[in-house]
């Protein structure tokens, strides 16, 4: 029976969640840990998503995990039994990005849901987290395809494990829409307010901010909030917010949503672990900060600091390469890195004596990108160098 249920709002394979993952995995020792690939099983790059997640856990978290492939509910008998055996033996089951409705369509009326609750630790993030409540937001259908707002029946495993009827909504504080409201997993307030009226009276909405994890200890009956954001409990338009660092009794999840709207819950401070990586709130924020450092150094013609900022940005892009969430941050960061190289080239034309050291430093950034197989960044740096009038000839990368 599950002892720890972890819900993540986003960022499940980014630097933000490295420390929480490490602390969570310590609870199972050397027992089998697996990734369940169903939510993104329809995507043509499903193999790549799995490989990046496995690489993230090995390189960043320090743990080998396996992959249980259940991409459809009509698998050949041998493949289906192999997948079910993998879930049956696992003590830690992780699932994340993709489509909640696709996952539900291929989990419903199978043995998968019952096997999830046998694992000691279940970590569901993003799309997978949506499936655990009584109802799920059909994100793709409503936000991308223009379907009328509606709920789809979900697994209701949260109520099975906790006794609390709930709907889980990750990406609760999403701000990608800029001037239009994409909070609440891209629904926005107007659509969520309408949809909330269609839920059973006793249901509570559990909203989890991006780069945030909610740890539900089913043995100690405690709930802990870690990461960059907070936990919101909402019922009939009334919300209560528990910021990162909060610890509350499991029994209060249903009760506290009746507090005045937008009030902040009085909760005990969390234990020091597991905490999120302090400086890694988002790749976009990191890129903007490094670009500001670069701009200041450039104004002072401080080439060393400029190059250091470019190197740090390239490292950040590599660190966040495993992030599977749809976000403009990666292209934004690469755009800033290209801009850094162009501006360094302009500085070089003003200071010819600095050219050899400058080009050597930029080549080092590009070589590291190629070794990391971040060919998009490497190509961008090459284009920036050639655009500044420099010839680039590549050696073979092993």
Domain boundaries, the chain: 4-269, 283-387
Per-residue pLDDT of the chain (398 residues; tens, 9 = 90+): 899 999 999 999 999 999 999 999 999 999 999 999 999 999 999 999 999 999 999 999 999 999 999 999 999 999 999 999 999 999 999 999 999 999 999 999 999 999 999 999 999 999 999 999 999 999 999 998 999 999 999 999 999 999 999 999 999 999 888 889 999 999 999 999 999 999 999 999 999 999 999 999 999 999 999 999 999 999 988 999 999 999 999 988 878 655 544 444 444 444 444 444 444 467 888 888 888 888 888 888 888 888 888 888 888 888 777 666 656 777 888 888 888 888 887 776 665 555 666 677 778 888 888 887 888 888 888 888 887 777 777 776 54
Tokens of 306: 């400029």
Domain range 4-269, CATH architecture: 3-Layer(aba) Sandwich (3.40)
Tokens of 25: 């995995």
Minimal CA–CA distance to 222: which of 252, 188, 179, 186? 252
* Helix runs in 179-226, H state only: 183-186, 188-196
Tokens of 74: 């009509």
Gap between the Cα atoms of 236 and 351, Å rounded: 64
Minimal CA–CA distance to 65: which of 80, 52, 78? 52
């Amino acid at each position: 029976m599950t002892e720890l249920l972890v819900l993540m709002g986003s960022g499940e394979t980014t630097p933000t969640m490295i420390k929480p993952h490490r602390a969570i995995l310590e609870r199972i020792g050397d027992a089998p840990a697996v990734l369940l690939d169903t939510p993104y099983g329809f995507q043509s790059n499903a193999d790549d998503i799995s490989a990046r997640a496995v690489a993230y856990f090995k390189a960043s978290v320090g743990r080998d995990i396996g992959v249980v492939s259940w991409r459809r509910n009509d698998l050949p008998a041998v493949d289906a039994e192999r997948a079910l055996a993998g879930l049956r033996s696992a003590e830690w089951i992780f699932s994340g990005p993709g489509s909640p409705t696709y996952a539900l369509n291929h989990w419903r009326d199978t043995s998968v849901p019952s096997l999830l609750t046998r694992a000691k630790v279940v970590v569901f993030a993003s799309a997978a987290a949506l499936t655990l409540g009584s109802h799920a937001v059909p994100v793709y259908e409503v936000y991308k395809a223009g379907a009328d707002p509606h709920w789809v029946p979900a697994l209701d495993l949260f109520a099975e494990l906790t006794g609390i009827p709930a709907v889980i909504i990750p990406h609760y504080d999403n701000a990608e829409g800029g001037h239009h409201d994409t909070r609440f997993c891209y629904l926005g307030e107007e659509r969520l307010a309408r949809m909330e009226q269609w839920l059973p009276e006793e249901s509570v909405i559990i909203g989890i901010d991006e780069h945030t994890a909610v740890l539900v200890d089913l043995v100690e009956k405690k709930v802990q909030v870690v990461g960059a954001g907070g936990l919101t409990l909402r019922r009939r338009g009334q919300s209560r917010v528990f910021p990162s660092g909060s610890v509350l009794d499991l029994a209060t999840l249903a009760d506290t949503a009746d507090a005045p709207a937008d009030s902040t819950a009085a909760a005990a401070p969390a234990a020091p672990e597991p905490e999120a990586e302090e400086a890694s709130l988002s790749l976009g924020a990191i890129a903007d900060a490094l670009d500001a450092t670069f701009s200041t150094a450039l104004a002072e013609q401080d080439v060393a600091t400029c190059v250091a900022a470019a190197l740090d940005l390239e490292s950040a892009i590599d660190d966040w390469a495993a992030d599977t969430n749809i976000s403009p941050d990666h292209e934004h960061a690469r755009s800033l890195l290209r801009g850094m190289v162009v501006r360094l080239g302009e500085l070089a034309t003003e200071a010819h004596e600095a050219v050899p050291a400058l080009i050597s430093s930029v080549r080092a950034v590009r070589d590291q990108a190629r070794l990391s197989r971040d060919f998009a960044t490497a190509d961008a740096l090459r284009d920036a160098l050639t655009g500044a009038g420099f010839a680039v000839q590549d050696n073979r990368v092993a």
